[in-house]
């Protein structure tokens, strides 16, 4: 039994498979934080993204998402714009202070958010209007990351 297990570890093909799986887990999975004060929206979007191969974490409180970005890497922040305590644009600006490579997609159901849109344009944030169809969001995410399809 021990010799058989050792044989598997020294098999060059097996090493390649293990290496590919490690790469998939650490490089190819984009880490995404989804922030919306509406629990159902945050969790639903995160679930959709996880089912499509992303590593998505939902948050209903902007400060919790901000603290999480300070503790670990995040590749994309998806956030509602209008939330109590801190807007999505304020959150995004603060995230970029310590994660400058993080990409940002904001969404809102409010049509008249002129000041917020000016800030979003200044920082080159992507903006989507609610309700966001999951396929439209996935298409935008693929564009942000430069992925095909």
| pLDDT tens digits for range 18-51 | 444 444 444 457 999 999 999 999 999 999 999 9
Please check whether residue 23 lies inside any domain of the structure: no
- The Cα–Cα gap between 36 and 58 comes to 8
CATH number, domain with residue 48:
3.40.50.2300
Q: Are 40 and 57 in contact (CB under 8 A)?
A: no
Tokens representing 134 are 């999951």
Q: φ and ψ at 38, to 5 degrees? A: -90, 110
Question: pTM score, two decimals?
Answer: 0.76
Please check whether residue 60 lies inside any domain of the structure: yes
Question: Domain count of the chain?
Answer: 1
Please check whether residue 72 lies inside any domain of the structure: yes
Please check whether residue 1 lies inside any domain of the structure: no
pLDDT of residue 26: 40
Please check whether residue 8 lies inside any domain of the structure: no
| pLDDT tens digits for range 54-77 | 999 999 999 999 999 999 889 999
Q: Are 103 and 97 in contact (CB under 8 A)?
A: no
Please check whether residue 68 lies inside any domain of the structure: yes
Domain that holds residue 63: 29-145
Please check whether residue 9 lies inside any domain of the structure: no
| pLDDT tens digits for range 95-146 | 999 899 999 999 887 655 566 666 666 667 878 877 878 888 888 898 888 8
Please check whether residue 16 lies inside any domain of the structure: no
């Amino acid at each position: 039994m021990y010799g058989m297990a050792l044989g598997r570890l020294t098999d060059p093909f097996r090493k390649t498979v293990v290496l590919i799986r490690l790469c998939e887990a650490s490089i190819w999975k984009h880490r995404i934080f989804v922030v919306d004060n509406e629990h159902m929206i945050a969790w639903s979007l995160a679930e959709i993204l996880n089912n499509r191969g992303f590593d998505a974490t939902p948050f209903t409180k902007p400060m919790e998402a901000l603290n999480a970005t300070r503790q670990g890497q995040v590749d994309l922040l998806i956030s509602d714009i209008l939330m109590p305590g801190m807007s999505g644009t304020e959150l995004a600006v603060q995230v970029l202070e310590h994660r400058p490579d993080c990409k940002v997609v904001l969404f809102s159901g409010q049509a008249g958010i002129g000041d917020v849109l000016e800030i979003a344009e200044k920082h080159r944030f992507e903006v989507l209007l609610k309700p966001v169809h999951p396929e439209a969001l996935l298409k935008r995410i693929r564009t942000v990351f430069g992925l095909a399809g």
